[in-house]
Structure 1
Amino acid sequence: MLKQFIERPVLSTVISIILLLLGALSLFNLPIALFPDIAPPSVQVTAFYPGANAEVVARSVATPIEEAVNGVENMTYMTSNSSNDGTMTLSVYFKQGADADNAAVNVQNRVSKAMSQLPQEVVQAGISTQKVQNSMIMFMGLTSENEKQYDELFLQNYLKINVIPQIQRIPGVAQAQVFGTRDYSMRIWLKPDRLASNNLSPQEVLAAIKDHNLEAAPGRLGQGSKETYEYILKYKGKLNKNEDYENIAIKANSDGSFLRLKDVARVEFGSYTYTATNRVDGKPVAGFAILQTAGSNANEILTEIEKQVKVMETTLPKGVKPIIMYNSKDFLDASIHQVVETLVIAFVLVFIVVFIFLQDFRSTLIPAIAVPVAIIGTFFFLQLFGFSINMLTLFALVLAIGIVVDDAIVVVEAVHSKMEQTGMPVEHATMHSMSEISGAIISITLVMCAVFIPVGFMQGPAGVFYRQFAFTLAIAILISAVNALTLSPALCAMFLNDPQGEHGEHGHKKGFGARFFNAFNASFNSMTRKYIYSLKFLIKNKWVAIGGLVIITAASVFLIKQAPSGFIPTEDQGFVLYAVNTPPGSSLERTHRATEQIDKIINGEKATNHLWVADGMNFISNSNASPYSAGFIKLKDYDKRGEMKDPDEIAATLTGKVSQVKDANAFFFNFPTVQGFGNVSGFEFMLQDKTNGSFKQLETTTQQFIGELMKRPEIAFAFTTYAAGNPQYTIDVDTDKANQLGVSVTELMQTMQIYFGSSFVSDFNRFGKYYRVMAQADIPYRTDVNSLEGIYVKNKSGEMVPAKTLVTLKRSFGPETVTRNNLFNAVTINGTPKPGYSTGDAIKAVEEVAQQSLPRGYGYEWTGITREEIKTSGQTTFIFFLSILFVYFLLAAQYESYILPFAIILTIPTGIFGVFAFTGLAGIDNNIYVQVGLIMLVGLLAKNAILIVEFAVQRRKAGKTLIESALQASRLRLRPILMTSFAFIVGMLPLVWTQGASSKGNHSIGYSTVGGMLTGVIFGIFIIPVMYVVFQYLHEKMPSRKKKRLLKKQMEEELLAASH
């Protein structure tokens, strides 16, 4: 069969050309994303209880909904946050692979069952349930040069009216999510003293507004009659102007005049909420995030958005400008550019190495052709299997460069050797060589692919990560094997010169190249002789080699245990996040004053490009509260940042500098590389109170626990934004007196809720959108506890009763935000490991401290990316050993022996030693990239061993002794082993050199693979022949084998006798 491809070179080239064409066509159709959908799906439920504090929201809204949702199909865990602004957000997380749309429907159905248990105000305000998109590709906004003319309220609503609808129509955009809830609203600012003097309750005012603000369908006249015309009757509909509301008649006076709304309230076309403010570089801003649909092309979407933004700029009001804070295209383009640059450099370096060994341009061209065929052809199968072009598949292709040339190199080198040894013409030498090495090529390919088979069994986000890597590599390797069996032999027969034409080629030339190659060959031949001499010594003294292998294995185990564990390295994406918390109870103005000081420090850093600040936002708990603030620092381009370039270093430096700011604690973070695992890097967990104790006790326990954590050397800092000391007043109602005066406690609480909380009245249409009408006491009537003196409630007799005669306020304290995790009150704790320690070290420290110091009834649950890291750690070890097991069984089937494969398998520790020695020296933790490289090295190291063992087995079958077989195989296979191994090593070197985008992933793969292959080759070429001699001897000593050989010999003798 293989002879056909040598004799029919057109057929061979057509196969490769078709693969190239299919790959090239697929390249332009494949979706592009930063990462595949690694994060597990999640669903968010949002509710609003106007005027309620965090405890009430948690008790009356979060708890019933959680009870209903708990246990929904495929759910893993859930977390809720209830805030003093009345909002409740429940996040429900599901198993990897669960359908997000079905999950959202199932959660919505569960929420519907809880509706009857919720306060009417919550149901009236509306409850939203939606799946969470984890694919933010852009974060941008509109900023104003003139705050008085165009404030944040205007900017946010301009966005929603004019910009967001246009963006959402772009193909591939899943959602354009606006930050903040500053929708327009008709604000009815009530004046309690005016209402009381006119004997009115706020409930009566709200009822009058509802009565006037409605849509109606009066019908039509003349329908079905004999009249000539029909007339449609229409009502003016809901009111949408300030003066329309101001003129609503509340009641008729005795003199025939009317008391109107403007007489008892101030009407303003204002904002729905006033809980947070946003600014960028000191100017008001309204921002939104753009999220990508699965399977779409991020680059195409972002290019189209950029076009729309340019068009939009021409229509924006004067002084309003767009600003892009985050564009994943920048990171994606930088990463792709770096990968492409690495591909080119790796290709050139591999070409040089192969050229040095083969010393002939034509010979070098054959493996060089294999690279584009394998790399480009892979894109066709990526599209076929539903993959995308992302950082993982691109990383895999970089790794593939050093691998896909291997098979072609083996073919070319074997043909060269055959011609030099036998003087055969090139075509005959090619045929003979392929008959000898085709089995080895197939074996190598099967082994390389077999190591990746167990990856398909991995679960969760790590499984997605591994599969993207592994299957891309496996496809490229399979294509390279097809090339080696079809195209490479045909090219050898076409390109290579007959032996007489190249005999003594370098010897008769006096140029630099000839001198270099002659020197190289002389050195290589000298090294080969020394190598064979050393091998003879080791084979004679097998225990030296075996002892060395034991020492290397022991050292590998030691290094693995010492290696800090990690998951996905945090890359430089060009920005840093930070969280600020001021003393409990701080007003938004006080928080603003503190963050202005922090702004000055941040803007003093040379690396700072733009600074976005959201006062009143707690992005750790995803809630709004005045004592908190969140910031987004866009960094300058990598080469313009000054001395500090790394975001982690910048974050650590700023954390130290900002500590001098009074009344504020600030923590700076790098943004997680993979979205959907929380907003901050480092580790994250929930401290649970299973005793249903007080919030104050939970705070005390949390602070004590954090104090113990901070004593550990592994922890740089750990913190929580939770505080139970938020100043509050507890309302104590004298119910006996209320009954005596004919006052309903319900009416009293509703009155206070309307005045001090706010109440939804109705809605109206303006600018083509619906907005809410909200009622609340005007600002001067709700400044402090003395405001209660101006509040009156109407009793059953229609008299106005002062609220202060029925209510006593007692000073108390409570939480700003109540967090619940899996039905228990909880606190979110975030932290960062110290330099030199990994998240795995920090996880162990947390577990040890929890075991030692947490009181009875308290527990903890890992969340976010930390949860996935812990789940993955056990899987990885299992998958690694399963990969080795697959390779073992494959080799056992090939050699028809359970003994001989150990000659190959036992040499793998030589590479493992190098992986952890090099990553340890480089300060790299045992992360997922290192683990992928390790699994790949199992196949690569087995490949080297197969090249020696396969040839030694052939020599043994030809009647050579064990030692002769081992020495001949080692001498003949040394050149291709070193050539392929060094080609791979130099192909990986560009990964070690990279800086900037994706550099940490590059370094993890680069150091691990270079180190593993280097030690694997240096030690392996000495240990593999010794292992072959040992296990081939044991294989032949097996009784069943002996009997088979004797029987075979006896049959041959009988056949020989019969023929005579």
Structure 2
Amino acid sequence: MNIAEASVRFPITVIVRVLLVLVLGYVCMTFLVVELKPDTEQPVLVVSTRFPGAAPEEVEGEITTRFEDNISGVSNLLYTQSFSPYGQSFVVMFFKPGTNLDLAAAELQRNLDRVTDLPSAVQKPQIFKASERVNLPVYQFALTGDVDIVTMSTWADREIAPRIKRIEGVGDCQFDGNRNREMRITFDPERLKARRLTVSDIKSFIDKTNLNRSGGYFIEGTREWTVRTVGELLTSEQFRKVIISKPGDPIIHLHDVAVIEDMYERPDSYCRINGVPGIAFSVFNQVGANIVHTIDLVDRELKSMNKEYGPQGAKLQKIYDQSMYIRDAIAIVRESLVEAIILVLLVLFVFLKNWRSIFIVATSIPVSIIGTFIGMYAFGYSINVLSLAGLALSIGLVVDDAIVVLENIYRHRYEEGKNIIRACVDGTREVGMAAFMATLTTAAVFMPVLLLRGEVGTLFAPVAFIISVAVFVSLFDAFTVVPMMASRWMREEKRPAGILKRVLAPLYFLDVIGGKVADGFMWSLGFFMGGFARKAFLIVFVVAVFGLSHWLLPGMGYLPTGGTNLIRMQVECFEGTSLDENSRLMEIMEDRWRSIKGVRHIVAIPNRNSFRNMVYLVCEREEDSGVAITTIQKQAAAAARDLPLKAINPIQFPLFGNIFSRSNVVDVRVTGKSYAIIESLVDQIMEIGKNTSGIIFRYTDLALKKPQVEIRVDHQRAAHLGFEVRDIADAIEAAVGGQKTTSQYDVDGRYFYIRVMGQEADFKTVSDVGRIILTSPRNPDIQVPLASVASVETTFGPLQITHYNSRRNSRVQFTIQGRPLGDVFTEVVSKINSTVAFPVGYTVLPFGAVNELKKLLDAVNFVLPLSVLLVYLLLVMQFQSFVRPLSILLSVPLSIVGANVLVRATNIPFDSFTILGYIMMVGLVVKNAILLITYAVQLMDEHGVARDEALMLASKRRMRPIFMTAISMILGMLPLALKNGAGAEIYNGLATAVIGGLSIATLFTLIFIPVVYTILDDIKALVWRVKPVDFDEAVAQGSPESTQPR
């Protein structure tokens, strides 16, 4: 008893199985994570180390290089980048996909512990996972109001950020614009000099006074008493009364030599939200978290906090919410999915015109789609734009097997006159192997795709997996549900009468047209089968068209360049520009940006480091404002063109990659030793970018002209006066930037720094630095100006020093528009090779998307041939022949012609997802050829029909189901090809390639494949010239001969 017969005999079992699939599928769907796209983040660890007051050269030499030398052996490490700006070191480590970052961090910490003898000012290195931090925040909000900035900063640090971090699904919450309090002790150098005191004395006396310490405990009877010494200073008045005189000297209070103020820290940055000072928060999700659910929880918490802080004069305002984009993107795909179902049902109605038959076939859709959720849950896939696109693409495929089975059952019942039970069993069995192999080849095409690693593999996998699962579920449905329902519901089609006849008359007229088309196809097939010359002409014509179609393909891109409605701008002022000047320039730009149509919110963060000025423009949806994000980018850059800026680089937050590696950016690194040579090379490459079409923005992180004052100590003179270099450096640091004491002061449980520094008014010019008073810590009577022991020189230095794999480098980025990434990169590299001379030890390296594009091409060169090979081997198994499958595979070149033509005609970018469409197409176009050749072989082998007659008869009988399935697949994918809006760029190219390939392949399959089959069969006969032995006959006669491969 085969599966069809069992299904007909036991319908209750089939119904229960369907209900189980529907129920379990629905339950699994409710547990699936909802997100924009699969997690493609590369595992990243960052080592952050503060070195207050140190210049980039010192940070590089004392910290960064030493760390890099000790971490190169960490397991699974791919490469490192490092950044050494003023006062801090960042070493960024990129690991292989799948690396356990917790284990990697533990190994990294062991390696860092081997680095000893760091300068005393260097703080403990901090290790954190940075995958989320270089990607798009899922939520941004702002804290503003009539509250002082320190209070808001306290709320942000102690209450708001911790509450947000505790929310389910939140990975991190960062904020900008906060200002902390500090107890600032501004000393008067002349008063210190008069009292023979030093800054070290002040710090020492404060630390000795501002102290709480446990004294242990003692027992009194049954009671235990704890002993504490409490001497901490809590107010500025208490600090003023600190005694700083030495034993035996007259009493000197701190206020005698300094001004004590409880005030703000000197700011490194400001933050404005829509022109109003405040604090901006960025929320990042945990990997694998349900983003939509997480954002809903953050929204709820924000409303709760507004009730608490509103009465105190503060307001928490949502600025950006990624769930809006996710919901829009998913809604568009769901809409496409519904439209695809309607179109497929319309196709069934046009062809079948029988509501019973339509219902039987249509059951495949919900069963297959909902059943797919079980597989998604079992293998950890989420609901995202790509997985839903895979479901939408499956709509036309899941009815394929049901149509073929039902059509064959219908033929056995009403053309061959069998009873309904026998027709269902025989009809299903006759096409069973062909349907199974056709479905298996579709899944086989995707097997190599599931083996891909990296970003492309992660993005392709959901589409490949979901389509494979859906078609297998639909195949099982076709073998069980269709024969079971047909055995009880199928009725012979009867022409309607009355008004229904007039309503459906156009459909029956289509049958007439279809008959004429079928006659045309059969005539064409007979014509080309009529002689060798005609066959040769057809082959040559197809080969020529196939070759010429490759000229239609545009240049390659990597991933779709679309993105969210959030623009991040790096506004780079000239080196040495002060924070207040940076802020003034940005205020001018903010006023201009507010007038740009489509801009909803502006978050501006001016920074003391001129290359770290950041702006976030939150834009209206394009369909609401009518303005494209790319237009806003250009207008934002143009609004700053007349201002004294070094560069401005508007970046649309991408769907794929991160803000440092985007698919519309040509990214190269110039590496070497000397920054003077690197600067010359970078200037030449930037000029190449200026003269290359398609490049709209140019950017380099090279900044070498930061004004700085260098103090060069005369060691002999300093030693003669009793000064060490460290004494001089400490005095300079204290006078100019200030030094923090070891102790801190407590305000309501929050501790703030105590800073001892000179008077800011004392430093207006460079020459003022030379007048800093130096007091010898060994002999307070020795007091001299700095200029007497050192020269004061002005020079320029780098804002930061960057490394790639421990070598100095500079990044050059070209943002492109209107040209494919591959074309621009090829042109840029060609110009670099022909015009830029690189000294020995200096080189330029491709980075980011261009590297990934190369990996993609290598992957395609692996996947496409392997997919074709797997399909071929499966067909060899089915036909027990190495020759017959070749005729089926030759439908692939036909499909490539169609895909090339339609991709070119619709101006679709030739990127990764379009290529996935080509791969998917291979499995789909061979299905029709399999149905055709399988039936022809059955006629020849089982019924003794002559070859040419069998091919003609197979084409005639399989024409209707072939056109039904092909049109169903094409119309099922049409909504995805035509959609615009959030995320549409992901599946437009994929669907367009499949539609183009399937359309041409279907039109030519019925003619070209039979012709090719006859040619290959004739060649085989000429080569082997041995008639195959009939196996059954040979066994019956006891023949020892083996069969000849066919």
Q: TM-score, normalised by structure 2?
A: 0.94
Work out which of the residue numbers 6, 9, 12 in structure 1 matches 2:11: 9
Does the CA contact (< 8 Å) of 1:651 and 1:668 recur in 2? yes
Shift of residue 78 of structure 1?
Answer: 1.1
Q: What is the match of residue 386 of structure 1?
A: 380
State yes or no: 1:805 paired with 2:763.
no
Q: How big is each residue's C-alpha offset from its partner over 1:661-688, in whole Å with a ceiling of 9 and x where there is no partner? A: 3445322221121254627663253423
Q: Which amino acid aligns with 2:809?
A: A
- Look up the SS of the partner of 2:174 in the other structure: strand
**After superposition, where does 1:332-347 map in structure 2 within 5 Å?**
332-347=326-341
Q: Name structure 1 gaps, 5 residues minimum.
A: 617-623, 1056-1060
Q: How big is each residue's C-alpha offset from its partner over 1:410-466, in whole Å with a ceiling of 9 and x where there is no partner? A: 122222233332233433222121111111111011101111111232121212122
Q: How big is each residue's C-alpha offset from its partner over 1:459-495, in whole Å with a ceiling of 9 and x where there is no partner? A: 2121212222211221111111111111122122222
- Look up the SS of the partner of 1:1024 in the other structure: helix
Q: How big is each residue's C-alpha offset from its partner over 1:363-402, in whole Å with a ceiling of 9 and x where there is no partner? A: 1122221111111111111111122222221221111112
Q: How big is each residue's C-alpha offset from its partner over 1:286-334, in whole Å with a ceiling of 9 and x where there is no partner? A: 1222222233222221111111111111111544222223212111111
Work out which of the residue numbers 972, 987, 1002 in structure 2 matches 1:987: 972
CA distance 1:1050–1:686, shift in 2 (3 Å): closer
CA distance 1:940–1:188, shift in 2 (3 Å): farther
Range with greater deviation from structure 2 (421-430 or 675-684): 675-684
Shift of residue 1019 of structure 1?
Answer: 2.9
Range with greater deviation from structure 2 (822-831 or 248-257): 248-257
- Look up the SS of the partner of 1:314 in the other structure: helix
Range with greater deviation from structure 2 (169-178 or 279-288): 169-178
Q: Distance in 2 between matches of 1:803 and 1:212?
A: 31
Does the CA contact (< 8 Å) of 1:100 and 1:131 recur in 2? no
Q: Distance in 2 between matches of 1:1024 and 1:1043?
A: 23
Q: What is the match of residue 150 of structure 1?
A: 148
Q: Distance in 2 between matches of 1:237 and 1:542?
A: 103
Shift of residue 5 of structure 1?
Answer: 0.8
Q: What is the match of residue 452 of structure 1?
A: 446
Q: What is the match of residue 805 of structure 2?
A: 822
Does the CA contact (< 8 Å) of 2:662 and 2:849 recur in 1? no
CA distance 1:629–1:389, shift in 2 (3 Å): same
Does the CA contact (< 8 Å) of 1:670 and 1:681 recur in 2? no
CA distance 1:156–1:545, shift in 2 (3 Å): farther
Q: Distance in 2 between matches of 1:203 and 1:512?
A: 104
Q: Which amino acid aligns with 1:523?
A: I
CA distance 1:789–1:991, shift in 2 (3 Å): same
Work out which of the residue numbers 564, 589, 594 in structure 2 matches 1:603: 594
Q: Distance in 1 between matches of 2:490 and 2:578?
A: 82
Q: Please, what is the CA RMSD of the aligned residues?
A: 2.4
Shift of residue 766 of structure 1?
Answer: 3.8
Shift of residue 510 of structure 1?
Answer: 6.2
Q: Which amino acid aligns with 2:822?
A: G
Work out which of the residue numbers 781, 790, 807 in structure 1 matches 2:762: 781
- Look up the SS of the partner of 1:1044 in the other structure: coil
Q: What is the match of residue 619 of structure 1?
A: none
Q: Distance in 1 between matches of 2:195 and 2:1028?
A: 115
Does the CA contact (< 8 Å) of 2:372 and 2:466 recur in 1? yes
State yes or no: 1:159 paired with 2:156.
yes
Q: Distance in 2 between matches of 1:377 and 1:1031?
A: 41
**After superposition, where does 1:281-430 map in structure 2 within 5 Å?**
281-317=274-310, 318-430=312-424
Q: Distance in 2 between matches of 1:195 and 1:626?
A: 36
Q: What is the match of residue 119 of structure 2?
A: 119
CA distance 1:915–1:719, shift in 2 (3 Å): same
Q: Distance in 2 between matches of 1:1029 and 1:320?
A: 82
State yes or no: 1:844 paired with 2:859.
no
CA distance 1:627–1:77, shift in 2 (3 Å): closer
Q: TM-score, normalised by structure 1?
A: 0.92
Q: Which amino acid aligns with 1:589?
A: D
Does the CA contact (< 8 Å) of 2:688 and 2:828 recur in 1? no
CA distance 1:456–1:628, shift in 2 (3 Å): closer
Q: What is the match of residue 613 of structure 2?
A: 629
- Look up the SS of the partner of 2:609 in the other structure: strand
Q: Distance in 2 between matches of 1:576 and 1:228?
A: 68
Q: Which amino acid aligns with 2:417?
A: G
Q: Distance in 2 between matches of 1:191 and 1:376?
A: 78
Q: What is the match of residue 491 of structure 1?
A: 485
Shift of residue 567 of structure 1?
Answer: 1.9
Shift of residue 100 of structure 1?
Answer: 2.0
Q: Distance in 2 between matches of 1:737 and 1:43?
A: 47
Q: Which amino acid aligns with 1:302?
A: I
Q: How big is each residue's C-alpha offset from its partner over 1:923-957, in whole Å with a ceiling of 9 and x where there is no partner? A: 33221211221111111001111111111111111
Q: Distance in 2 between matches of 1:145 and 1:178?
A: 16
CA distance 1:714–1:435, shift in 2 (3 Å): same
Work out which of the residue numbers 914, 920, 937 in structure 2 matches 1:930: 914
Q: Distance in 1 between matches of 2:218 and 2:152?
A: 45
Q: Distance in 2 between matches of 1:1034 and 1:14?
A: 52
Does the CA contact (< 8 Å) of 2:979 and 2:988 recur in 1? yes
Work out which of the residue numbers 214, 217, 222 in structure 2 matches 1:220: 217
Q: Distance in 2 between matches of 1:189 and 1:552?
A: 83
Q: Distance in 2 between matches of 1:596 and 1:734?
A: 45
CA distance 1:671–1:213, shift in 2 (3 Å): same
Q: Which amino acid aligns with 2:704?
A: A
- Look up the SS of the partner of 1:266 in the other structure: strand
Does the CA contact (< 8 Å) of 1:699 and 1:722 recur in 2? yes
State yes or no: 1:593 paired with 2:584.
yes
Q: Distance in 2 between matches of 1:341 and 1:686?
A: 41
Q: What is the match of residue 241 of structure 2?
A: 247
Q: What is the match of residue 96 of structure 2?
A: 95
Shift of residue 42 of structure 1?
Answer: 0.5
Q: Distance in 1 between matches of 2:748 and 2:966?
A: 68
Range with greater deviation from structure 2 (88-97 or 1014-1023): 1014-1023
Shift of residue 337 of structure 1?
Answer: 1.0
Count of aligned residue pairs for this structure pair: 1026
Range with greater deviation from structure 2 (330-339 or 912-921): 912-921
Q: Which amino acid aligns with 1:337?
A: A
Does the CA contact (< 8 Å) of 1:591 and 1:628 recur in 2? no
CA distance 1:1014–1:252, shift in 2 (3 Å): same
Does the CA contact (< 8 Å) of 2:46 and 2:92 recur in 1? yes
Q: What is the match of residue 472 of structure 2?
A: 478
State yes or no: 1:511 paired with 2:501.
yes
Range with greater deviation from structure 2 (919-928 or 20-29): 919-928
Q: What is the match of residue 1058 of structure 1?
A: none
Does the CA contact (< 8 Å) of 1:696 and 1:814 recur in 2? no
Q: What is the match of residue 169 of structure 1?
A: 166
Q: Distance in 2 between matches of 1:719 and 1:630?
A: 15
Q: Name structure 2 gaps, 5 residues minimum.
A: 1040-1046
Does the CA contact (< 8 Å) of 2:39 and 2:288 recur in 1? no
Q: Distance in 1 between matches of 2:484 and 2:874?
A: 29
Shift of residue 773 of structure 1?
Answer: 3.5
State yes or no: 1:746 paired with 2:703.
no
CA distance 1:577–1:971, shift in 2 (3 Å): same
- Look up the SS of the partner of 1:688 in the other structure: strand
Does the CA contact (< 8 Å) of 1:781 and 1:790 recur in 2? no
Shift of residue 648 of structure 1?
Answer: 2.1
Q: Distance in 2 between matches of 1:262 and 1:362?
A: 101
Does the CA contact (< 8 Å) of 2:662 and 2:848 recur in 1? no
Q: Give % identity.
A: 25
Range with greater deviation from structure 2 (41-50 or 261-270): 261-270
Q: What is the match of residue 273 of structure 2?
A: 280
Q: Distance in 1 between matches of 2:1036 and 2:503?
A: 55
Q: What is the match of residue 72 of structure 1?
A: 74
Shift of residue 336 of structure 1?
Answer: 1.2
Q: Which amino acid aligns with 2:707?
A: P
- Look up the SS of the partner of 1:731 in the other structure: strand
Shift of residue 267 of structure 1?
Answer: 3.2
CA distance 1:319–1:1035, shift in 2 (3 Å): farther
State yes or no: 1:761 paired with 2:741.
yes
Q: Distance in 2 between matches of 1:941 and 1:849?
A: 42
Q: Which amino acid aligns with 2:967?
A: F
Shift of residue 548 of structure 1?
Answer: 2.4
